[in-house]
A and B are shown apart, each in its own frame.
Chain A
Amino acid sequence: QSALTQPPSASGSPGQSVTISCTGTSSDVGGYDYVSWYQQHPGKAPKLMIYEVYKRPSGVPDRFSGSKSGNTASLTVSGLQAEDEADYYCSSYSGSNNWVFGGGTKLTVL
């Protein structure tokens, strides 16, 4: 149950786009379309932003988009806004009745 690999940090200026990667293996990210992304502000609970690789829950701005290629999933935040500054975590079903998260990426809006 190794954690998925995310870059520790990412940054962009307001209005720009930023992409956060999430690399796993063929046993998790590459093997299932059950990748989800969570936003967590300091001291707060995580919030679901993307599910099933690219789908957005009701209420999540369409500035947030997800994709997957092979064993790597990606979260893109377009038109960066100050309130997007947070930690982002990817997650995937990893087979054998387990779920795994990435180590998290701290997104800074410059």
Chain B
Amino acid sequence: EVQLVESGGGLVQPGESLRLSCAASGFTFSDYGMVWVRQAPGKGLEWVSYITSTGRTIYYADSVKGRFTISRDNAKNSLYLQMNSLRDEDTAVFYCARFRSDWSFDYWGQGTLVTVSS
């Protein structure tokens, strides 16, 4: 059974940093690209970042470019999102999801809440 479990969320002040993790199991992690998608409270979904299976190619949404860094450790079956210079508008539930070759996201974690507030 495919499982994705996010962790690392919490309450931080504007300008601070946070690192999210996503532990994958039930599939060959190194075969799949992965993404982070976020959802602000009561709002819709927003794609944040994508990383290929090898980690060699990475893309970011303009809203986080230069502040967030996606990475992965295939030996540990783990995906990460380093978030720096956090802003109030980054407050959201962050989901990791598996990326398919048809460019859809077929398995999602339960999400981890990041709250940025002074």
The answer to whether A binds B is yes
Per the CB 8 Å criterion, the residue count for chain A at the interface is 26
Asked if B104 and A36 sit within 8 Å, CB to CB, the answer is: yes
Q: Does A64 contact B (CB under 8 A)?
A: no
In the complex, A10 has a CB within 8 A of chain B = no
Given contacts A3-B44, A45-B109, A103-B44, contact A51 B104 (CB under 8 A): yes
In chain B, residues 81-99, which have Cβ atoms closer than 8 Å to a Cβ of chain A?
95, 97
Query: Which residues on B sit within 8 Å (CB–CB) of A103?
Result: 44
Q: How far is the CB of A52 from chain B (nearest CB, A)?
A: 5
Which B101-115 residues have C-beta < 8 A from chain A?
102-111
A-B residue pairs in contact (CB < 8 Å), sample of 6: A1-B62, A46-B45, A48-B104, A48-B106, A57-B106, A89-B44
Q: Give residues in A with beta carbon < 8 Å to B.
A: 1, 3, 32, 34, 36, 38, 44-48, 51-52, 55, 57, 89, 91, 93, 97-104
Query: What B residues does A98 contact at CB under 8 A?
Result: 47, 59, 61
Complexed CA–CA distance, A97 and B58 (Å): 9
- Contacting pair B46 A46 (CB below 8 A): no
Give complex CA distance A5, B19 in Å.
Answer: 32
A102 with B44, Cβ < 8 A, contacts A1-B61, A36-B105, A51-B100 known: yes
Interface size on B, residues (CB 8 A): 24
Residues of chain A within 8 A of B100, CB atoms compared? 51
The complex places the Cα of A100 from the Cα of B95 at a distance, in Å, of 15
Which residues of the partner chain B approach A51 to less than 8 Å between Cβ atoms?
A: 100, 102-104, 106
Provide the residues of chain A in CB contact with B35, threshold 8 Å.
99
Task: Give chain B interface residues in 20-49, CB to chain A under 8 Å.
Answer: 35, 37, 44-47
A55 to chain B, nearest CB (A): 8
Please measure, in the bound complex, the distance between the C-alpha atom of A22 and the C-alpha atom of B62, giving whole angstroms: 22
Q: How far is the CA of A102 from the CA of B95 in the complex (A)?
A: 17
**Residue B80, interface by CB 8 Å:** no
CB distance from B107 to the nearest CB of A (A): 8
Q: Which residues of B contact A32 (CB under 8 A)?
A: 103
Collect the chain A residues with CB atoms within 8 Å of residue B111's CB: 45
